[in-house]
Chain A
Amino acid sequence: MLDLSQYQSIGAALKDALDQFSNEVCVIESDREREKERLTYRDFKARAHPLAKALEDAGFGAGDRASIIMTNQSKWLISAYAVFYAGGVLVPLDYKLTPDEQWQLLKHSGANALVTEYPIWRQLSEAQGRSTTTNVKTVLVTEAPKSAELRGATRWEGFTGSGEPAFVPRTRQDLAAIVYSSGTGGRPKGCLMTHENYLEQCVALTSIYPFSPGVRYLSILPTNHAIDFMVGFFGPFICGATVVHLRTLRPEYVREAFSKYKITYVSLVPLVLKNLQKGLEARFAELPAGKRKMFNALVAVNRALTKSRPRLGLSRRLLKEVHNAFGGELRAIIVGGAFTEPQTLQFFYDLGIPVANGYGLTETVVAVTVNDLNPFRADTVGKPLPGMEVRIVHPAADGIGEVAVRGKTIMSGYLNEPELTAETIIDGWLMTGDLGRFDAAGHLQLFGRKKNMIVTEEGKNIYPEDIEAAFDGLPVKEFCIFAANYIWPQRSMVGEQLLLALHQEPGQTYTEELCRDISARNGKLLNYKRIHGVVLYEEDFPRTASLKIKRNALREQLAKLDRATAVLPL
């Protein structure tokens, strides 16, 4: 691994990594049964430098911003490398957003260049949002069919400069990336991340979960996601490891990839991990009675022998068939993006597959705490990473209070939002809005949220105000969306739901027709953004002088209602 303390920027570290590990395989790309590409670090450099040169020739330089909207693939990483090499700032955007949402964030971020895939560009260029004025001057499109109408874009494959590009140095305090934690509604939250944020996070994480040449990381989470960007790009690259991309994430191809490429690490969101658990449990239940008894006994033996620490070699021998299904070389599953239920973590640990769970926010690059497996604890999110300070602010009698974090991985602020930044970072401490406490062993435990938001099991942060536009024009006097746990705190991190609070016109009743209207609008939202129920409120909503709803005051009023009877399911 490179000694990152010697580096000023992501670009400088990656540049040296390509030379130091030139003969190692850095990226494998698979599409169903076919292996599309296998690049060494030398090959990667040969692809990336002409792109960096062409960007520079096009006038892209220090501090310019380039957005990538792509599914996971080598061209994502090559493009990001070229941007950093040319001194640029990366704006990774979620390819699953709608085209109009993507245009909104392209505008908000001030991106000068956009790298995307042809099918995504086709939708982007047809969307109404294209009329939005942005700074985007260069659009590079990958894998466009020969006869494709490019609509102002340039083919990525042909965008090459000749001669060596000039490496543009950056300092640790310079902006490296703008990462959107959520928010495509009225107030996008673009986290400003510095080169130092990433360098320090990488050092901390690899001290617990090391990468090296020969390690193969299966990249399933979108690379625009902070976790995959770190453990599916920067982390493995500066250690000479291999990243495996799949063009399709159908379960059968993901399963096959584990054995085919002898995967060492993979990152998943809790929803996928839980599905994996369900699938395995179903298969275990199908075993003949005698075999099942034997299998359960082996799991019990493994549990007893790994109580104090993981013993991978032993677990692989004891539960050979299970480990072989995962390729036989899996060291850990990294889980993140949302809270994972302890019983799921324990299920995998008992099989001898440690799950590296932790706690983090986009505002902290990736992780604040991580389970160091020494010993494994399913009931906590682990201990603070080296270099991170974590404290509990205003704890209640039971020790639970808001989690505050300080360290070199904290973002420098939200783009164009000085007030929000000042509310969030106070005297260097990031106020997370999450509730937690430390146990006697120094492990952090989480107990719900103080803020009005939910995080889905797919790892999506949903802010209620971002989806209210879907209900604009609803024939009622006024409405407002809340996270149910924000109204009625649950001290729980699972089963979070959104609710629509309605105040009807005088004399108006809640009819089936209105319910159908709400359901129809709800149905147009992506499934993870949908509301789960309606709460009827009979008073005027409290409002500010400028007529904005006072959400906190309204929340206090709604909290007086009994949740069990107040929520009308849709």
Chain B
Amino acid sequence: MRTLEQTTQEVLDLASKHFHVPAGSLAPEDDFFKKLGIDSLETLEMLSRLENHFGIELPDYEVQGVSDFRTLASRIQSRL
């Protein structure tokens, strides 16, 4: 079982890979809309990648209003 820290790190790694930003340039408290310059649709694409990676399903309502990596990771963690 992963810890929340591990999950958060995996989320950050995946996001930096998916959106081609240098590894290590993202922090848990970053607002991913702002930091990655992405819109709500691109966020949905990122969520699909995360679901595949973690082998879970994240209903849309669970990520409604979430805009930072740490909260996103905690929503994922609660479903692992």
Contact = CB atoms under 8 A, between A and B. Distances in A.
A527 interface: yes
B39 A250 contact: no
Given A250-B44, A458-B40, A523-B67, 10 more contacts: A71-B61, A119-B61, A120-B61, A247-B59, A251-B41, A251-B48, A252-B48, A271-B39, A523-B31, A527-B33
Nearest to B33: A527
A95 B42 CA distance: 20
A96 B64 contact: yes
Interface string B41-62: 1101101100000000101111
Given A98-B65, A523-B31, A527-B67, A248 B60 contact: yes
Interface residues of A, number: 21
Nearest to A271: B39
A247 B60 contact: yes
A272 interface: yes
A117 B64 CA distance: 14
B79 interface: no
A254 B48 CA distance: 13
Interface of B: 31, 33-34, 39-42, 44-45, 47-48, 57, 59-62, 64-65, 67
Given A252-B48, A527-B67, A119 B41 contact: no
Given A250-B45, A251-B45, A275-B41, A119 B59 contact: yes
Contact of A249 (B34, B39, B60, B67): B60
Interface in A43-95: 71, 95
Interface string A243-266: 000011111100000000000000
B1 to A, nearest CB: 23
A71 B62 CA distance: 12
Contacts, number: 46
A545 interface: no
Contacts of A120: 61
B39 A119 contact: no
B60 to A, nearest CB: 5
Given A32-B57, A119-B62, A526-B65, A249 B44 contact: yes
B71 to A, nearest CB: 12
A251 B60 CA distance: 12
20 contacts: A32-B57, A96-B64, A96-B65, A98-B65, A119-B59, A119-B62, A120-B61, A247-B60, A249-B44, A249-B60, A250-B44, A251-B41, A251-B48, A271-B39, A272-B41, A275-B39, A523-B31, A523-B34, A527-B39, A527-B67
Interface in A282-303: none
Contacts of B65: 96, 98, 526
Contact of A71 (B40, B47, B60): B60
Interface in A179-216: none
Contacts of B67: 523, 526-527
